Structure 1
Amino acid sequence: METRYRLFIDDIRDPVVPDWVIARTSSEAITVLEARGCPFEISFDHDLGGDDTAMVVAKKLISMDLDAGGGFIPADFVYSVHSANPVGKSNIEGLLEAYLRQREVQVDRPAAC
């Protein structure tokens, strides 16, 4: 699986730098994750038109990482939320920060005997 790419999730805007893979819906973003693996960077917009939000993608990303025993999201993974929706931005950041922090704790914890 190709993992060295950036994913830009937004229904309207385009990234400033052209080397991003663009997903316009949560479904499209999940299809990219399933086909190409986890990117090393994701830029999220929260509101993707209608009832669609990037929270669906953030939750799927975590689910895929849990299913892979913590091996789906790369160690150098970074993300940003460029959404104009402050509550949505906070929700995505809170979810991902909490998960990544917990995952780091699990990796650093010695195995039980």
Structure 2
Amino acid sequence: MTYALFIDDERFPPEDGLSWKIARNARQVEAILTQFGPPGFISFDHDLGDDEPTGHDIAHKLVDGDIGALPGTGYEAGLPLHFRFTVHSQNPVGARNIEALLTRYLEFRKRQTSV
């Protein structure tokens, strides 16, 4: 069964019936990925606290894991075929960066699989 991942250092996910797992930082994201595999849906915050990797850093690792660049980590399982995401960050620049990275990558991946 798939789950949804909520990445935010302060807030909580909406009560919308999804089976949410909450990660407050990059270490918790990797632990959740290792234990449960890739989520079908992720809601990203960008700023995850002082001296912590950002949501953009995590999105980049998800892409790297999907292309096989991070063996031996929680990211190596990649992203599911019908992966979806949203960005709930209040940092507009950070939110746009996450959205752009993942949107471009998912479009590229879709083109590659349809060839």
Greater displacement, 54-63 / 6-15: 54-63
Q: Which residue, out of 86, 95, 112, partners 2:101?
A: 95
Deviation at 1:51, TM superposition (A): 3.3
Listed as ranges, the matches of 1:10-25 within 5 Å are: 10-17=8-15, 19-25=19-25
TM-score by length of 2: 0.84
Aligned to 1:56: 57
Gaps of 5+ in 1: none
Deviation at 1:35, TM superposition (A): 2.4
TM-score by length of 1: 0.85
User: In structure 2, what residue type is equivalent to 1:106?
Assistant: Q
User: In structure 2, what residue type is equivalent to 1:104?
Assistant: K
- Residue 30 (1) aligns with residue 30 (2): yes
Deviation at 1:41, TM superposition (A): 0.4
Aligned to 2:4: 6
Gaps of 5+ in 2: 70-76
User: In structure 1, what residue type is equivalent to 2:94?
Assistant: G
- Percent identical pairs in the alignment equals 46
Alpha-carbon RMSD across the aligned residues, in angstroms, is: 1.7
Three-state SS of the structure 2 residue aligned to 1:50 is: coil
